[in-house]
Amino acid sequence: ANPANPANPANPANNGTSGDAPAPATDGIDQDLLAAAFAEHHDFDRGYGPAVNRMLRQIRQEGADWRTLAASLFDGQGSWGNGAAMRVAPLGAWHADDPERAAAQAERSAYVTHQHPEAVAGARAVAAAAALLASGSPGGAQLLGDVADLVARSAVHAGIRRARDMLDYGDIGTVVAVLGCGRRTSAHDTVPFALWAAARHAGDFPGAFWAAARAGGDVDTTCAIVGGTVAAAGPSCAPPEEWTQRTEQLPDWLTTALGRLDGTG
C-alpha cells in the first residue's frame, strides 16, 4: 500500500545514518535481481498499491530503472507504505543466526520499492523480529526491546517502544487506538501493532493471527507480518494443519526456487 506522504522527517530511520540508498553489498540481496523478480511475477489483482503497481509495470514493460522510479514516488519522498514490511519476515527467518544482518538485508530489500525512512524502518523491524524468534527469543518485552535496538529513531521505533509498554493490555481496541492497525497503510501505523501481536502471542500462531484479524484495519498485511514472524520460531509455531490445507498452493516458480535453496531442487 502506498499512501500520500507528508514531508520527509528530519531524522530518517535508515540504519541510523542518512536517507541515501544503502551502500552496495558484496553478498546478500541483489537489488537489481529483486526488482526484476518483483516485476516478472507482478499480479495486478493481488491488491498492490497504485504507485507500486505502476512502478512494476514500467519495469516489466518499459525496462525502467527501479532506482529512479522508487526515488520519485510521492514527489521524491519515496513510499512509506507497509508493503516492504509485509513481505520481509521470511528473509528475517533466513538470517536466524544474525538479526543485525537480517535487518540490514531487509533494508536493501525495502529500498527497491519503498525508500521513505519509515518504510525502511518497518522492514528492518519485521525482519529483526523474525530472526530473533527463529533464534529462540521468548517474545514479549525482550523481543520488542531487541527489535527496537535494531531500528533507528523514527515513528516506527517509537511505536515499537509503545507496543512494549502495552503488552499487558487485553483490550484490543485500546491497543489499536494507540498503535494503529494499518488503516493508514503506512509502516508506522502497521508494524508496531503487528509486532505487539506477535510478541504478546509468541509461540501461539492462532492466538497471534486472531489478535491481528480481530483488530480490523489492513488485515491482510498485519496478519502476514504476524504470521510470518511467529511461524519463524519453527514447526511448533506453524499454522494449524487444517488451516494450511485451505491455503492457496505456492506457484511452481517459487517452489522450484525454494528447492534450490534447501538443496532438494
119 in Cβ contact with 110 (< 8 Å) = yes
Q: Is residue 140 included in any domain, yes or no? A: yes
Annotated binding site for Mg(2+): 218, 220-221
Annotated binding site: 218, 220-221
Q: Is residue 262 included in any domain, yes or no? A: no
Q: Is residue 160 included in any domain, yes or no? A: yes
pLDDT in tens, 13-67: 334 433 444 444 447 899 999 999 999 998 888 877 788 889 999 999 999 999 9
Q: Is residue 257 included in any domain, yes or no? A: no
Nearest Cα neighbor of 131 from 157, 107, 87, 97 is 97
* Domain identity same for 126 and 41: no
What's the rounded Cα separation, in Å, for the pair 172 and 57? 38
pLDDT in tens, 80-100: 999 999 999 999 999 999 999
Q: Is residue 10 included in any domain, yes or no? A: no
- pLDDT for the residue 195: 98
Domain holding 213, by residue range, is 83-243
- pLDDT for the residue 264: 67
* Domain identity same for 119 and 222: yes
Confidence of residue 12 (pLDDT cuts 50, 70, 90): very low
Model confidence, pTM: 0.87
* Domain identity same for 63 and 119: no
* Domain identity same for 111 and 45: no
